[in-house]
Amino acid sequence: MERGTVLMRRYELGRLLGQGTFAKVYKARNILTGETVAIKIIDKEKVLRTGMIDQIKREIAIMRLVRHPNVVQLYEVMATKSKIFFAMELVRGGELFAKVAKGRLSEDMARKYFQQLVGAVDFCHSRGVYHRDLKPENLLLDDSGNLKVSDFGLSALRGSRRQDGLLHTTCGTPAYVAPEVINRKGYDGAKADIWSCGVILFVLMAGYLPFNDPNLITMYGKISRGEFRCPTWFPSDIRKLLSRLLDPNPNTRITMSKLMENSWFRKGFKPVPPTLQYRGSPCPRSDGDVHGCMHGATFPSEDEEKDEAEEEIKKKLAMSPIRPCCLNAFDIISRSQVFDLSGLFEKEKGVKAEARFTSKKPAAAIVSKLEEIAQMERFKMIKEKDGVVKLEGSKKGRKGQLEIEAEIFEVSPALFLVEMKKLSGDTLEYQKFYHQELRPSLKDIVWTWQVGDQSPPPQTLALSPLRPPLPVPASHPACIF
């Protein structure tokens, strides 16, 4: 959009501040109040096409819940048939990352930012929100030098927890992620955020990361063991606090309440009462319902007819009956035999009842092959959510019917990962069926099996850093925990 364009008769666009895959951010002025804001413009067609609409809705709901002086504020949300507009607080001071990249901060400055970060995160947790991607790049500074937590795109609500009371989505930024997050066994969102806060405190004080290595296996090994070195200039009380924050065992890691009672943390700490009032033009409803915030158009919901734009996209793309989920970097790492870290946390038990393979065939061809196998072996095939199919045996075995789930993931447009696992039935019967019938029948579509000592080719596991990492000194005096 051009500079000077007026959106929804209330915001005049200024210069472009930045852009990403799905959105552009502009400086803008509220015509009614004269207030300067940031307008995030999201391409609705792109988010619909990539299945990101639920994430956008969740981000809106979360930002409406966390009204706090140290959290970037969302003023209102508007939409047309093709665009979604976020009117947000404009934070002019840039990222905290840029400040730290110039060198370590003084103890008092580091404490100030850490106090503001913990205060904001504690408030988020009180509202049932877990950020899950805390890092200096997502911490902004305003004109007064106060910290503002931003980017809730990977956040989760308390209601996202499974029946075990834990979150299971592996996400975040490698150097800041807690060890239990990549364990694929479930994690407490609050404790994972506390770990990230600990990494950030170390970065503020040292000017570099506590866990960093060009080899991901080595780096995750250090994270899983909580193995880091503190420079000798760290005061003893900070070293003790970091040992509690970066405890690899989430059950013994310091809690938020205990952290806020810590003597080093409390020095000069001034709790700021949350400011929950809207600034600018408020959304008409404040219960977290996204639809109440829309002007001109709404998101599709289960109780409404499908959005016309979504229907047009489906026609354009001639979508296949099944749409595989896309893997992020953490998903690829955690599912790879080479990068599997579960052995760091628990020993392998019994016969492994899962297998993975990569294929260069499209998702439709993979599903077609599974249907063919199901018919040959008298299995019933059920298509569930996008990317998931189930094979149910017609005969009862020693432990009931054999049931197998196959989940298809898109690594890239030309490469798919298929994860197969036994859901029910006897494991030995599954192994016999897998080795004698299933695996031989899949040879036409399999590129590489990830079983035993085999794994997907290295290029499928490569990670590209979004920006240069913080520097790590070649050598420095240190004490090790």
Residue 198 CA to its chain's centroid (Å): 18
Closest CA to 151 of 276, 28, 66, 36: 66
Q: Is 77 helix (H, G, I), strand (E, B) or coil?
A: strand
How large is the angle between the packed helices 189-206 and 107-126, nearest 10 degrees? 170
- The mean-pLDDT minimum among 280-284, 332-336, 358-362 falls in 280-284
Residue 458 CA to its chain's centroid (Å): 23
The DSSP-derived string for 119-173 is HHHHHHHHTTEE----SGGGEEE-TTS-EEE---TT-EEGGG--TTS-B----S-
pLDDT of residue 306: 38
Between CA 444 and CA 446 the distance in angstroms is: 6
Question: Which residue has better confidence, 430 or 283?
Answer: 430
Mean pLDDT of the chain: 79
Residue 50 CA to its chain's centroid (Å): 16
Between CA 350 and CA 219 the distance in angstroms is: 29
Between CA 408 and CA 420 the distance in angstroms is: 9
Q: Which residue's entry shows tokens 């700490």?
A: 269
Give the mean model confidence (pLDDT) for residues 206-231.
Answer: 91
Segment 185-205, tens digit of pLDDT: 899 999 999 999 999 999 999
* 377 has pLDDT over 60: yes
pLDDT of residue 253: 97
State the number of CA atoms in the 13 A half-sphere of 365 facing the CB.
Answer: 13
Q: First CA to last CA across the chain, in angstroms?
A: 53
Decide: residue 464, CB within 10 A, 0-12 exposed, 13-18 middle, 19+ buried.
exposed
- Is residue 81 left, alpha or beta, with left meaning phi > 0 and alpha meaning psi from -120 to 50? alpha
pLDDT of residue 363: 82
Between CA 478 and CA 230 the distance in angstroms is: 5
pLDDT band at 45 (very low <50, low <70, confident <90, very high): confident
Between CA 347 and CA 339 the distance in angstroms is: 16
Instruction: Dig out the tokens for 318 from the structure.
Output: 């001639």
Q: Is 419 helix (H, G, I), strand (E, B) or coil?
A: strand
pLDDT band at 465 (very low <50, low <70, confident <90, very high): very low
CB 7 within 8 A of CB 28: yes
**What domains are there in the chain, each with its CATH number?**
1-90 (3.30.200.20), 96-274 (1.10.510.10), 325-461 (3.30.310.80)
With residues binned 3-state (H G I as helix, E B as strand, rest as coil), the percentages for the chain, rounded to 5, are 35, 25, 45
Instruction: Dig out the tokens for 463 from the structure.
Output: 């990670």
Q: Which amino acid is at 20?
A: G
Segment 299-336, tens digit of pLDDT: 433 333 334 444 444 444 344 456 666 665 556 555 55
40 is in an annotated binding site: yes
pLDDT band at 352 (very low <50, low <70, confident <90, very high): low
Kindly give the pairing relationship between strand 388-397 and strand 448-450: unpaired
The dihedral sign for the CA sequence 460, 461, 465, 466:
positive
Residue 106 CA to its chain's centroid (Å): 31
Q: What are 391's strand-pairing partners? A: 381, 404
Kindly give the pairing relationship between strand 400-412 and strand 325-326: parallel
Instruction: Dig out the tokens for 26 from the structure.
Output: 């502009």
Closest CA to 363 of 406, 400, 328: 406
CB atoms within 10 A of CB 461: 17
Residue 345 CA to its chain's centroid (Å): 22
| CA distances for 102 relative to 90, 174, 202, 472, angstroms | 24, 22, 15, 13
| CA distances for 156 relative to 21, 162, 228, 356, angstroms | 21, 12, 28, 28
Annotated active-site positions, please?
A: 133
CB 104 within 8 A of CB 132: no
Give the mean model confidence (pLDDT) for residues 156-184.
Answer: 87
Residue 133 CA to its chain's centroid (Å): 7
* 272 has pLDDT over 80: no
Closest CA to 201 of 105, 98, 94: 105
CB 352 within 8 A of CB 195: no
Q: Phi/psi at 346 (nearest 5 deg)?
A: -155, 155
pLDDT band at 146 (very low <50, low <70, confident <90, very high): very high
Q: Which amino acid is at 294?
A: M
Closest CA to 438 of 347, 374, 346: 374
Instruction: Dig out the tokens for 412 from the structure.
Output: 């890239």
Closest CA to 293 of 45, 62, 91: 62
